[in-house]
């Protein structure tokens, strides 16, 4: 074991291990202090807006924000900026239309809200499935973040002779090489977090989540300030991307042929949004309308999706009232907005300083730029680079660990509480429920790890964007329409949510499967999805499947209106009272009245 560790940078290993141990330790410490869901929410009420906003931000900033955005800016340039901007600005829709009313209604989760708003336990059971769909799409990129980080930390380890060759990383010629296999990183991190959640650690406690935000903020900002002071600023490195020969290029390493050209990279409608048209051999001016369509659909998915993420909305109930919920949302926008200025800088500097990453794929490619870039400083100031790289590795651990465990807790809750406790075995004893929770956690953890091992070649940020697109077509229309339109019926809400959500899910799965099927070493059943000649012939269809929000969101809302009009006899009898609770200021005391009325039934 010792000769293996000798190949690892001690600073990076130490910082990473400290983060893992601290995160798990804090999880167990706080889990011991609050036993029930009730404790969690009551404890939250004593927390100020500032703490609560930090906690929501800490939960939100996942591997996609910490690693994926930088990697995507490096590989795709300008178009990738829509991701961080819409991740942050999506909260505005949440603030304007959903945060205050939902807090006043007092349902803890989206399934709770679905049940309460339509007095229907059936609808609750329907609504809960999207917690699982969105959750699995969100865990895949977290797993890729884990695999990428471990592959970087142990990149010089030689496992040849210890593991069989088929399990090791390969070079282009198919020979086993030194380095840590991607799948092993996914399995190790997935197993550790799953075990931790099953044993009861990692409950979503405000203090731990708030600490996570500040740790990630520190880890993304301090290394970039040092890098910019050593190698030149944000603007300087953007200025190099110019075809004008008068611009001095000395600060940049030579770009490989595989890297996008300056013009395509820095201008809008670059490689990311023109991909479908390029495959169809449509180039130049003719490709631009396709890019515009892709851009709009992406924006709609991200902005509407933020307002429909189940693991984020649950945190809004730790606010004491609707006004505090609004104030918290504004502070979240400020905290994550400041954070999102930094990852693109890593991408821009990475293009100048580490262009070699353009030649590599999977866990060795540009998704690891945040981890690798700071180490360059070692050439100028010995040791400092290792320390900074250790800090960004620690930030990456904080990002994928907190988000993966948060998702695992909410998905396990959905499976154990809603599907087992309410559908399969409503008479379960407390002990059976506890066992069900543990079994569900392990089952979901195993599925998440298996899915995670398959996605090495997909970009972290892209995958998270796909989870947003599903949320945008399912939960966002449900919440938005239920809060603002009295005429909604359960049947209308269910039809719109299911149709929009499932169509988005199908389109997205189809494109991701076919991308995986196109890889040279794809095998088995995934080969069935090789649709690439079809996509090349129909670029428009490809864009509408890959980024479906532009048609699924309006479709879901239209179906909700049409079906609700057709079934208007089913509008809940006390809808006026429900609407008052959603919209009237808390100081009128309507909430109390509503609960008494319900208890009397």
Work out how close the CB of 224 gets to another protein at its nearest, in angstroms, rounded to a whole number: 13
Nearer Cβ to another protein, position 95 or 401? 95
Work out how close the CB of 576 gets to another protein at its nearest, in angstroms, rounded to a whole number: 6
Nearer Cβ to another protein, position 173 or 573? 573
Work out how close the CB of 213 gets to another protein at its nearest, in angstroms, rounded to a whole number: 16
> No. of H helices and E strands in the chain?
29, 0
Distance CA 350, CA 357 (A): 9
DSSP annotation of 95 reads I
Work out how close the CB of 273 gets to another protein at its nearest, in angstroms, rounded to a whole number: 10
CB 478 within 8 A of CB 114: yes
Work out how close the CB of 462 gets to another protein at its nearest, in angstroms, rounded to a whole number: 18
Helices (H), 518-601: 532-537, 539-546, 549-566, 575-583, 590-600
Nearer Cβ to another protein, position 442 or 579? 579
- Measured between its terminal Cα atoms, the distance across the chain in Å is 66
3-state helix, strand, coil in the chain (%, to 5): 80, 0, 20
Q: In terms of residues, how long is the chain?
A: 601
Contacts 24+ apart (CB under 8 A), 222-229: 222/388, 222/391, 223/373, 223/374, 223/388, 223/389, 223/391, 223/392, 224/342, 224/345, 224/346, 224/349, 226/374, 226/377, 226/384, 226/388, 227/349, 227/373, 227/374, 227/376, 227/377, 227/388, 228/345, 228/349
CB 577 within 8 A of CB 310: no
Work out how close the CB of 89 gets to another protein at its nearest, in angstroms, rounded to a whole number: 5
Nearer Cβ to another protein, position 159 or 324? 324
Q: List the beta bridge partners of residue 163.
A: 160
Nearest Cα neighbor of 308 from 529, 463, 516, 94 is 94
Looking up tokens 């239309």 gives: 97
Nearer Cβ to another protein, position 216 or 375? 216
Nearer Cβ to another protein, position 93 or 113? 93
Nearer Cβ to another protein, position 333 or 493? 333
Nearer Cβ to another protein, position 99 or 415? 99
Tokens of 430: 């407390």
Work out how close the CB of 235 gets to another protein at its nearest, in angstroms, rounded to a whole number: 3
Nearer Cβ to another protein, position 275 or 327? 327
- Residues near another protein (CB under 8 A) are 78, 81-82, 85, 88-89, 91-93, 95-97, 100, 233-239, 242, 266-269, 288, 292, 295-296, 299, 303, 322-323, 326-327, 329-330, 333-334, 337-338, 340-341, 344, 484, 576-577, 579-580, 583-585, 587-590
Work out how close the CB of 266 gets to another protein at its nearest, in angstroms, rounded to a whole number: 6
Work out how close the CB of 293 gets to another protein at its nearest, in angstroms, rounded to a whole number: 10
Helices (H), 251-383: 262-266, 271-279, 288-306, 310-313, 322-353, 369-372
Work out how close the CB of 226 gets to another protein at its nearest, in angstroms, rounded to a whole number: 19
Buried b (16+ CB within 10 A) or exposed e, 257-266: eebbebebbb
Nearer Cβ to another protein, position 95 or 557? 95
Nearer Cβ to another protein, position 69 or 153? 69
Q: How big is the chain by its Cα radius of gyration, in Å?
A: 24
Work out how close the CB of 433 gets to another protein at its nearest, in angstroms, rounded to a whole number: 40
How many Cβ atoms sit within 10 Å of the Cβ of residue 202?
A: 25
């Amino acid at each position: 074991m010792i000769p293996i560790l000798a190949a690892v940078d001690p600073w990076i290993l130490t910082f990473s291990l400290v983060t893992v141990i601290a995160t798990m330790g804090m999880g167990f410490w706080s889990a011991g202090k609050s036993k029930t869901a009730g404790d969690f929410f009551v404890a939250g009420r004593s927390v100020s807006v500032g703490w609560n906003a930090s906690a929501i931000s800490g939960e939100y900033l996942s591997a996609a924000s910490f690693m994926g955005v930088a990697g995507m800016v490096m590989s795709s340039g300008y178009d990738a900026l829509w991701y961080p901007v819409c991740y942050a600005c999506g909260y505005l829709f949440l603030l304007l239309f959903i945060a205050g009313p939902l807090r006043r209604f007092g349902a803890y989760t989206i399934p709770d809200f679905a049940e309460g708003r339509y007095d229907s336990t059936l609808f609750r059971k329907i609504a809960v499935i999207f917690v699982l769909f969105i959750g699995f799409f969100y865990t895949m990129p977290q797993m890729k973040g884990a695999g990428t980080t471990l592959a970087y930390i142990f990149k010089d380890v030689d496992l040849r002779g210890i593991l069989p060759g088929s399990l090791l990383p390969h070079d282009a010629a198919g020979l086993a090489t030194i380095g840590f296999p991607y799948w092993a990183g996914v399995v190790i991190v997935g197993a550790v977090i799953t075990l931790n959640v099953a044993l009861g650690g990692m409950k979503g406690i405000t203090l731990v989540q708030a600490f996570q935000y500040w740790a990630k903020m520190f880890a993304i900002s301090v290394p970039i300030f040092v890098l910019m002071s050593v190698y030149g600023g944000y603007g300087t490195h953007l200025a190099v991307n110019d075809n004008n020969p008068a611009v001095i290029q000395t600060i940049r390493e030579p770009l490989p042929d595989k890297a996008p050209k300056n013009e395509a990279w820095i201008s809008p409608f670059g490689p990311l949004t023109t991909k479908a048209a390029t495959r169809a051999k449509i180039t130049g001016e003719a490709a631009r309308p396709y890019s515009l369509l892709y851009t709009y659909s992406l924006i709609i998915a991200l902005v509407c999706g933020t307002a429909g993420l189940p693991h984020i909305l649950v945190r809004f109930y730790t606010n004491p009232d609707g006004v505090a919920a609004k104030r918290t949302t504004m502070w979240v926008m400020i905290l994550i907005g400041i954070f999102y200025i930094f990852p693109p800088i890593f991408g821009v500097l990475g293009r100048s300083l580490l262009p070699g990453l353009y030649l590599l794929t999977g866990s060795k490619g540009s998704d690891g730029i945040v981890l690798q870039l700071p180490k360059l400083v070692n050439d100028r100031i010995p040791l400092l680079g290792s320390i900074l790289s250790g800090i960004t590795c620690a930030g990456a651990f904080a990002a994928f660990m907190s988000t993966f465990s948060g998702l695992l807790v909410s998905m396990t809750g959905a499976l154990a509480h809603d599907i087992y406790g309410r559908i399969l075995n409503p008479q379960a004893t407390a002990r059976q429920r506890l066992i069900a929770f543990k079994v569900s956690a392990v089952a979901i953890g195993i599925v998440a790890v298996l899915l995670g091992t398959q996605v090495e070649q997909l970009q972290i940020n892209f995958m998270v964007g796909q989870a947003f697109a599903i949320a945008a077509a399912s939960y966002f229309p449900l919440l938005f329409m239920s809060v603002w339109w009295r005429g909604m019926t359960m049947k209308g809400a269910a039809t719109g949510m299911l149709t929009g959500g499932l169509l988005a899910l199908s389109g997205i799965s189809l494109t991701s499967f076919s991308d995986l099927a196109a890889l040279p070493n794809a095998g088995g059943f995934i080969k069935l999805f090789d649709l690439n000649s079809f996509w090349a012939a129909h670029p428009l269809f490809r864009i509408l499947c890959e980024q479906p929000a532009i048609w699924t969101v309006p479709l879901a809302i239209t179906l909700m209106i049409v079906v609700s009009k057709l079934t208007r006899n089913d509008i809940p009898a006390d809808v006026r009272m429900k609407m008052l609770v959603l919209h009237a200021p808390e100081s009128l005391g309507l909430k109390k009245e509503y609960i008494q009325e319900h208890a009397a039934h």
